[in-house]
A and B are shown apart, each in its own frame.
Chain A
Amino acid sequence: MKYLIIFLSFLLTSFFSTAQEFTVQQKNKAFSENTLNVKVGDVVHFKNDDPFFHNVFSLSDTQFFDLGSYPQGESKPVKFEAPGTVEVECAIHPDMKMTIEVSQ
């Protein structure tokens, strides 16, 4: 019985700590979200829905990434590894900005 409880606890913990996946669109030279709340380990897919190339990058202290440039229909993922605020932009179109709040 004791082992069964431990096993079930493990299963429940695993189930509730499963990383979530989110999608943020790039459409009409804007991100579909102004802010997004995620947890450490979650993955955000940045999908380009505009008929031209976009970029996604962050120079934030919390997490640096640069996804390069990619065309309409393509998507690139970013896994958020640390808690904090991550400012996300498109280098090609600097009016495109959003914030991702990463919590534990």
Chain B
Amino acid sequence: MLPLNKFGFFSIILMLSSYQLCATEYKDMIFKPGHASLQEWLLPDTPPYPKDNKPNAHRVELGKILFFDPRIGGDGNMSCATCHNPILGWSDALPTAKGFKSQTLARATPVITNTGYNTIQMWDGRKKTLEDQAIGPMEASVEMQTNFTNLLKLINTSSEYRAAFEKAYPGEGVNKSTLAKAIASYERTIISNNSPFDQWVKGDKKAMSKQQVNGFKLFVDPDKGNCAVCHSAPNFTDNGFHNIGLKSWGDENPDVGRYSERPLGLMKGAFKTPTLRDISLSAPYFHDGAASTLEEVMDHYNKGGEVKTNLSPNMKTLNLSKQEQLDIVAFLEALTSEPKPVSLPKLPIK
């Protein structure tokens, strides 16, 4: 773990947890635009951050440069943006990721949209903070296989890079920690919180269609879609782990997911609940990329999963009509914010 002191980490957890408590139950929700019972679905304007990494313009700018610099990869041709590509919904449009030397990896590239609001990172939760996560793919031999000796030498021999680090983290030097902190600062700016759904929750009655409002009702109704049991307010994730019974769970040697971090029976085949914000931008879906469309996702959940061994107890057969499934899909499409323009940074050459 990177040098984030205990107090700093505890503060993050408290900050993140505070806006997730006291969830309003379905029976108490009033489905009218702007209603008080729905306000818990609105995200804070900015994600929380650790005490030793308060974002500022210099940190975000340095993080952006590093995020897009392909020289970070072990072969000098792979950046964070190679997989977390802003023109592909901050993902890669592949069923599962391509890693070092284009080897196919076991899991899909997670979107980084709103990941700053998460209390735990990666499909199996093996990273706690964004700072911790940012360095993970670089250290993984199958992902970026970064040669840190070479990378730090490259940065240290560049007067532009050195100056950018000194502006961002005065006196802290160029090292793995400042590298991770800068990238995390940039990732905390990748936010989706102004979707038609958000506008409707704030009171704009025209922001969502009748079908989308009905889809929202079905989404939260525990006797219908039951989606919010895991995709909960406000970031459409419970930061939790569930085995949702994908077909690949029936493979001979399936990916055990969270079980590798928490060796408990319940966690076999369980993966972290992803956010659904901007979901229409990041097909294919699921941790193994098994669903090409949101309709296929709904079909999977309607059946209550394919392989039901060790299925999450929160999963059940839904028996939704085709129209109800389409209404939920229409609602999911209302969770996409207008994409913000992304300008590419000028990478330090000298």
A residues whose Cβ falls under 8 Å from a Cβ of B: 28-30, 51-53, 55, 57, 59, 66, 68-69, 71, 91-95
B residues whose Cβ falls under 8 Å from a Cβ of A: 13, 16-17, 20-23, 25, 119-120, 125, 222, 229, 238-242, 258, 262-267, 270, 312-314
In the assembled complex, the Cα of A94 lies from the Cα of B189 at a distance in Å of: 25
Cβ A92 vs Cβ B21 within 8 A: no
Instruction: Output the nearest chain B residue to A52 by Cβ-Cβ distance.
Output: B229
Cβ B240 vs Cβ A28 within 8 A: no
Cβ B23 vs Cβ A91 within 8 A: no
Q: Taking chain A's interface residues, is the majority helix, strand, or loop, or is none over half, making it mixed?
A: loop
A91 CB contact (under 8 Å) in B16, B21, B264? B264
In the assembled complex, the Cα of A88 lies from the Cα of B312 at a distance in Å of: 20
Cβ A92 vs Cβ B13 within 8 A: no
In the assembled complex, the Cα of A85 lies from the Cα of B222 at a distance in Å of: 37
Cβ A66 vs Cβ B265 within 8 A: yes
A52 to chain B: which residues have CB within 8 Å? Answer: 222, 229, 314
B122 nearest CB across to chain A (Å): 12
B229 to chain A: which residues have CB within 8 Å? Answer: 51-52
A sample of 15 more A-B contacts (CB under 8 A), given A59-B262, A94-B240, A94-B241, is A28-B21, A29-B20, A29-B23, A30-B21, A57-B264, A59-B263, A66-B264, A68-B265, A69-B266, A69-B313, A92-B241, A92-B270, A93-B240, A94-B119, A95-B20
Cβ B262 vs Cβ A53 within 8 A: no
Cβ A55 vs Cβ B266 within 8 A: yes
Can you give 20 contacting A-B residue pairs, CB < 8 Å? A28-B21, A29-B23, A52-B222, A52-B229, A55-B264, A57-B262, A59-B262, A69-B313, A71-B313, A91-B264, A92-B241, A92-B266, A92-B270, A92-B312, A93-B239, A94-B125, A94-B239, A94-B241, A95-B16, A95-B20
A71 to chain B: which residues have CB within 8 Å? Answer: 313
In the assembled complex, the Cα of A68 lies from the Cα of B314 at a distance in Å of: 13
A54 nearest CB across to chain B (Å): 9
Question: Given known contacts A28-B23, A69-B313, is B266 in contact with A95 (CB within 8 Å)?
Answer: no
In the assembled complex, the Cα of A51 lies from the Cα of B314 at a distance in Å of: 10
Cβ A92 vs Cβ B242 within 8 A: yes
A55 to chain B: which residues have CB within 8 Å? Answer: 264, 266
A57 to chain B: which residues have CB within 8 Å? Answer: 262, 264
Question: Given known contacts A30-B17, A52-B314, A53-B314, is B239 in contact with A95 (CB within 8 Å)?
Answer: yes
In the assembled complex, the Cα of A51 lies from the Cα of B262 at a distance in Å of: 24
B247 nearest CB across to chain A (Å): 22
Instruction: Output the nearest chain A residue to B20 by Cβ-Cβ distance.
Output: A29
Cβ B240 vs Cβ A92 within 8 A: yes
B266 CB contact (under 8 Å) in A29, A30, A68? A68
B25 CB contact (under 8 Å) in A51, A66, A95? A51
A80 nearest CB across to chain B (Å): 19
In the assembled complex, the Cα of A55 lies from the Cα of B242 at a distance in Å of: 12
A64 nearest CB across to chain B (Å): 10
B119 to chain A: which residues have CB within 8 Å? Answer: 94-95
B25 to chain A: which residues have CB within 8 Å? Answer: 51
A92 to chain B: which residues have CB within 8 Å? Answer: 240-242, 266, 270, 312, 314
B235 nearest CB across to chain A (Å): 13
In the assembled complex, the Cα of A28 lies from the Cα of B25 at a distance in Å of: 10
B270 to chain A: which residues have CB within 8 Å? Answer: 92
B266 to chain A: which residues have CB within 8 Å? Answer: 55, 66, 68-69, 91-92
Cβ A93 vs Cβ B313 within 8 A: no
Cβ B21 vs Cβ A51 within 8 A: no
Question: Quick one: which of A55, A91, A92, A95 has the most chain B CB within 10 A?
Answer: A92
B267 CB contact (under 8 Å) in A28, A51, A91, A95? A91
Question: Quick one: which of A30, A53, A71 has the most chain B CB within 10 A?
Answer: A53
Cβ A51 vs Cβ B313 within 8 A: no
B73 nearest CB across to chain A (Å): 31
Question: Given known contacts A52-B314, A91-B241, is B125 in contact with A28 (CB within 8 Å)?
Answer: no
Cβ A95 vs Cβ B17 within 8 A: yes
Instruction: Output the nearest chain B residue to A53 by Cβ-Cβ distance.
Output: B313
B46 nearest CB across to chain A (Å): 20
B263 to chain A: which residues have CB within 8 Å? Answer: 59
B20 to chain A: which residues have CB within 8 Å? Answer: 29, 95
